[in-house]
Amino acid sequence: MANNLKTTHYADGTEIPLVESNSVWEAMGSEDSAYCYYNNNTSQEAFTYGALYTWAAALNGSESSDNVPSGIQGVCPDGWHIPSDGEWKELEMFLGMPQTEVDATGPRGRYIGSKLAVSPGLWSDGYLKTGDGFGNSGFMALPGGGRRYDGTFGHLGDNANFWTATEGDSAKAWGRHIYAQYSTVHRYTNVKSDGFSVRCVKDQ
């Protein structure tokens, strides 16, 4: 799937809670499902960048998985699934990341972030846009920013943030992050009530 997910319902028709209030978002815990749009803008950001989901919303109550494939449909449509941390690693190595870097935390894989991104006009200035192979992976990452666990929005135009299906611990889950300032792709654990973009992978 070469676009950020925009759905407001699970595949069975169940509605995902829309949370716009900063105070309500901040009060949520690791198991709370919610989505929003950047700055609660339901026009341009909704169309271009998709929605932002908590980790619980992304997984729709499923347990963490690091399997390849993850086997977790989550918020994805029928026939698709949320990629695991392991699946992301496979993609990164396919794009040229050395095996010695793939399990590291932080910035990894020179130019891998550049290859995953697309639409340079939407990104802030930095090394990402000038990195070798910009946009050639077909992944088409856009800088949709995110929503912190405290309810604040940030980094539209600067960051692309994606959930994986794999938790780090009871409070955090692994994500992938692409920053305008760097050509690399970053791997961190993040508070599960952060709001990130979601990409789905087609089942085989």
69 falls within a domain: yes
9 falls within a domain: no
2 falls within a domain: no
76 falls within a domain: yes
Task: Quick: pLDDT tens for 72-95.
Answer: 999 999 999 999 999 999 999 999
Centroid of chain to Cα 160? 7
**Phi/psi at 8 (5° precision):** -110, 0
Provide, rounded to the nearest whole percent, the portion of the chain with pLDDT above 70.
100
5 falls within a domain: no
Expressed as residue numbers, the domain containing 152 is 22-202
Total count of domains within the chain:
1
Average pLDDT in the 35-40 region? Answer: 96
Whether pTM exceeds 0.85? yes
29 falls within a domain: yes
3 falls within a domain: no
Cα end-to-end span (Å), the chain: 13
117-144: string of b/e by CB count within 10 Å (b at 16+)? bbeeebbeeebbbebeebbebebbbbbb
CB 178 within 8 A of CB 157: no
Centroid of chain to Cα 3? 11
Task: Quick: pLDDT tens for 22-35.
Answer: 999 999 999 999 99
pLDDT confidence of 45, banded at 50, 70, 90?
A: confident
Q: How far apart are CA 189 and CA 151, in angstroms?
A: 18
Q: Supply the DSSP symbol for 99.
A: T
